[in-house]
Chain A
């Protein structure tokens, strides 16, 4: 290396191509080892045009390079040896614009063209992939924004609908119209399901924006789980809750987690029993929900915790694939973990671990 600035040294030293820096008068101010080897004794101080077989053409080319910062392709011969080059004008500490030339000795234009083609195709592929990834990210943002707005807009008419259905059910009960009572109750259950879906959509935007705030209080996880399961009053549920599994957690958020896991176990567990276990495990509390249903293939174990992902087709089981994602976000906000162990046909066990 000869007289190259420190900012060029590292790059110039590892290049297999020759690298030259030319000042505003066309004099070579720096050259790496490859350039010295190819052009003869150190060319620093010489005019590039004087070393080349076509000095006028080289001078004109360098003038364009000095005027423009764009990388420009060129080619010329030195003592009848052909070189291809790529040059760009660069600003040098306010001292005017120099030209950096990187060039390849070439025996045949074809070889050069093939090499360039390969590099260009590779660059194009990288660019295409980057663009595709950016488009995908943008699409996900648009989707989340849409769902947040949709969830919000659904809430108001749904609340009104639920109130009116409750009024209708009461009026029908008073009037003793049994078929109407049954219909109103079915409609209320459907409206409640819709309200839960709207809540899940709103959660997407809150959690995606990192707006999950916890309201921690000292609670007993066993008591919380027993309370939640009491609402299900389902004969399949079997609970084993060790007393005194206390910690500082957000009870409303943990209720969401327990409800999601148990609802999933009942949905996918067939008619087989579902076991719920709460226990202490050293400095952590552990909740396990085990079903004996269809199970989950190993390749889907991580995917099911992502937004809008499901292990099986929608047509078989309802839901939009948000419950597990929301549950994992809530558990993670507590500093805990939510994981699954499962094999197809052998049921699934979801385990929540929470620091106390």
Chain B
């Protein structure tokens, strides 16, 4: 076997990096984020159904939602942890991006987290607004993601993306 650093996981991450990079270069970061957002919502719907089935519930509670979001990131090699958990919002930190170091300079990929988290939260609790305050993709040391669960004044004022149950 030749000594070439190529395996399936690394190949997939690199593929995603180039897909996102190509989108950003060709149509711009904003539009690329829109495409990734649609992919994220599809992923969110599938993951939501998967967890509801595994937990045997028709709707996730707020406590279950927080655990599910951490668990799904852990399974794909993210390192999310809960910083704050109230009825109004969930605040997560993250020490490792599931896309690995291939995410740097690919902020459009943050739409994946925003839309997966936002879709699952909104489908179960009716409303969410996801604010990515810090992002490894933008060069920050860690990510900090706030998921507002109620349309409070603070949530309305924050710069993020809103989701509602469909």
Contact = CB atoms under 8 A, between A and B. Distances in A.
A70 B28 contact: no
Interface string B144-166: 00000000000000000111111
Given A61-B38, A64-B38, A64-B41, A69 B27 contact: no
- Tell me what chain B mostly uses at the interface: helix, strand, loop, or mixed: helix
A63 interface: yes
Closest 7 CB pairs of A and B: A120-B28, A69-B162, A73-B34, A67-B166, A64-B41, A70-B161, A72-B34
A68 interface: yes
B35 interface: yes
A97 interface: yes
Interface string B28-40: 1111011101100
Contacts of B119: 67-68
Interface string B52-70: 0000000000000000000
Contacts of A61: 38
Nearest to B122: A67
B26 interface: yes
Contacts of A119: 28
A124 interface: yes
A67 B30 contact: no
Of A61, A66, A70, chain B has the most CB atoms within 10 Å of the CB of: A70
A58 to B, nearest CB: 13
B57 to A, nearest CB: 20
B166 A66 contact: yes
B28 A123 contact: yes
Interface residues of B, number: 24
B27 A113 contact: yes
B115 interface: yes
Contacts of A67: 41, 119, 122, 163-166
A167 interface: no
A143 interface: no
Interface string A54-80: 000000010110111111111000000
Interface string B106-136: 0000010001001100100000000000000
Contact of B31 (A63, A66, A89, A116): A116
A68 B118 CA distance: 8
Interface in B79-118: 111, 115, 118
Nearest to B33: A70
A117 interface: yes
Given A63-B166, A73-B34, A68 B28 contact: no
B28 A117 contact: yes
Of A68, A74, A86, A123, chain B has the most CB atoms within 10 Å of the CB of: A68
B88 to A, nearest CB: 19
Contact of B164 (A66, A74, A117, A123): A66
Nearest to A24: B166
A223 B17 CA distance: 77
Nearest to A62: B166
